[in-house]
Amino acid sequence: MSATASRQSDHKKAVLHRMVLPEHTCPYGLKAKDLLQRSGYEVEDHHLTTRQETDAFKARHGVATTPQIFVGGERIGGYDDLRRFLGKPVADPKATTYRPVIVLFAMTALTAMAASYAVTGNAFTVRAAEWFIAFSMVVLALLKLQNVESFATMFLNYDLLAKRWVPYSYIYPYAEGLAGVLMVAGALTWLSVPVALFIGTIGAVSVFKAVYIDRRELKCACVGGSSNVPLGFISLTENLMMIAMAIWMALAAFGLAVGTAHPM
């Protein structure tokens, strides 16, 4: 048997040391155990049940964190090290990604279609499209309002009005949420339309200038101030959706006035 084959054979058993205290069970320890088992390893699971035991273990092995995994007598390291060892991707918490907005728009689209189906028996309606935009505005506002201070700080990097009048960076998420809720209800169109049109237009111009004219590489505050979503096309889409919805509702209101009633 070759040295490589022998080493692979030895690696079928793993030793895991993880923190399991009465008041806290390390989640990365649980994830490491699950990953090892799903990868075909027999796991010898050792619990560190007190802070003193945990500190002694870390001092003995010269490590700063737990869990720690050993395979074939060799220390692999913690959970991320284990993923690398097994050839699994390791997420970079600082990497830019469009995943938050893609997931958000997918879920609001599905929710809008579900609501339309519940009301009309048809998921693919004009009302579903309207609700999709309105629901998206509400959820985007919700994410921003989780930490308004963080959002405002990031927003000030590129929004043209906020740079001139800082309070606007705090007002924006409330205005977006208000317009979205009113659009869902189809109420107070005289208020929701100008609000959405105003913040959407300024946002679209600001993003276009920052990304396509100034060529700046920034993170978007669209899903909150702690996101790693890059400022770009999807960020611009948020604002264009608000503009489109405002114009559509204004036209619908006019149609109602001249006798071509719109359902919203």
Q: Which tens digits make up the pLDDT trace of 213-250?
A: 988 887 777 777 567 777 777 778 888 888 988 888 88
Mean pLDDT over residues 67-83, rounded? 94
User: Does residue 43 surpass a pLDDT of 60?
Assistant: yes
Quick one: which H or E segment has residue 15?
strand 13-19
Please tell me the pTM assigned to this model: 0.77
Compute φ and ψ for 157, nearest 5 degrees. -70, -25
Note the pLDDT of residue 220.
Answer: 78
Compute φ and ψ for 14, nearest 5 degrees. -125, 145
Between 93 and 30, the higher pLDDT residue: 30
248, two tokens? 């559509």
Cα of 78 vs its chain's centroid, Å: 25
User: Does residue 19 surpass a pLDDT of 50?
Assistant: yes
Separation between Cα atoms, residue 52 and residue 220, nearest integer Å:
44
Mean pLDDT over residues 38-56, rounded? 94
HSE at residue 65, side-chain half, CA atoms within 13 A, is: 11
Separation between Cα atoms, residue 66 and residue 149, nearest integer Å:
33
Separation between Cα atoms, residue 18 and residue 148, nearest integer Å:
37
Mean pLDDT over residues 58-83, rounded? 93
Note the pLDDT of residue 232.
Answer: 72
19, two tokens? 């923190």
Instruction: Please state whether beta strands 13-19 and 42-48 pair in parallel, antiparallel, or not at all (unpaired).
Output: parallel
Contacts of 17 (CB under 8 A, 6+ apart): 46, 48, 57, 66, 67, 68, 69, 70
Please tell me the CATH superfamily of domain 12-85, with its number: Glutaredoxin (3.40.30.10)
Note the pLDDT of residue 156.
Answer: 92
- DSSP secondary structure letters along 111-153: HHHHHHHHHHS-SSSHHHHHHHHHHHHHHHHHHHHTTHHHHHH
Range in 97-106, 112-121, 175-184 with the lowest mean pLDDT = 97-106
pLDDT tens digits for range 190-213:
999 999 999 999 999 999 999 889
Contact of 222 with 140, CB cutoff 8 Å: yes
Mean pLDDT over residues 157-178, rounded? 95
Note the pLDDT of residue 16.
Answer: 96
Distances (CA, A) of 200 to 128, 214, 215, 239: 21, 20, 21, 4
Mean pLDDT over residues 39-57, rounded? 94
User: Does residue 38 surpass a pLDDT of 90?
Assistant: yes
What's the longest Cα–Cα distance across the chain?
A: 87
**Ranges of each domain in the chain:** 12-85, 99-257
212, two tokens? 């396509």
